[in-house]
Chains A and B, each alone.
Chain A
Amino acid sequence: MAGFSFFGEGLPDIDLGELKGKLIVLEGTDGVGRSTHIGLLKQWLENHGHAVLDTGMTRSALAGKRLKQAKEGHTLGGITMSLFYATDFADRLENEIIPALRAGFIVLTDRYIYSLMARAIVRGADPEWLREVYGFALRPDAIFYLRVNIDDLVTRVLQSTGFDYWESGMDMHMGEDMYESFVRYQKWLLAEFDKMVETHGFEIVDASGSIEEVFENLCERVDRVVARNGY
Chain B
Amino acid sequence: MAGGMKMYGKHRFPGRLFIVEGIDGSGKSTQLSLLQKWLEAEGYVVYFSEWNSSPLVHDVTKRGKKKKMLTPITFSLIHATDFADRTEHDIIPPMKAGAVVLADRYIYTAFARDVVRGVSPKWVRELYAFAVKPTVAFYFRTPLDIAMKRILGGRDAIKYYEAGMDLGLSDDIEESFRLFQGRIIDEYEKMVSEFDMIPVDATRSIEEQQAEVRRIVTDTLTGTKKTRVRRWLDLASLAKGSRI
Contact = CB atoms under 8 A, between A and B. Distances in A.
Interface of A: 8-13, 61-63, 66-67, 69-70, 73, 75-80, 82-84, 86-87, 90-91, 94, 123-126, 129, 132-133, 135-136
Given A62-B60, A77-B1, A133 B127 contact: yes
Most B CB within 10 A of own CB, among A11, A13, A61: A11
Contacts of B136: none
A136 B76 CA distance: 12
A90 B56 contact: no
A145 B56 CA distance: 32
Contacts of B7: 126, 129
Contacts of B80: 83
Nearest to B3: A124
A70 B56 CA distance: 7
A84 B64 CA distance: 13
Contacts of A66: 56-57, 59-60
Contact of B73 (A8, A82, A90, A125): A90
B54 A75 contact: yes
B126 A78 contact: no
Given A10-B120, A124-B1, A61 B74 contact: no
Interface in B39-87: 54, 56-57, 59-60, 63-64, 69-74, 77-78, 80-81, 84-85, 87
Nearest to A172: B2
A132 B85 contact: no
Given A79-B5, A126-B7, A132 B123 contact: yes
Contacts of A12: 72-73, 117-120
Interface string B75-112: 00110110011011100000000000000000000000
B81 A133 contact: no
Nearest to A69: B56
Nearest to B123: A9
Q: At the interface, is chain B mostly helix, strand, loop or mixed?
A: helix
Interface residues of B, number: 38
Given A79-B1, A94-B71, A129-B5, A84 B81 contact: yes
Contacts of B64: 62
B117 to A, nearest CB: 8
Contact of B127 (A63, A91, A132): A132
Nearest to A92: B74
A185 to B, nearest CB: 15
A79 B123 contact: no
A63 B77 CA distance: 11
Nearest to B89: A77
Contacts of A10: 120
Contacts of B69: 61-62, 91
A80 B57 contact: yes
A77 B130 contact: no
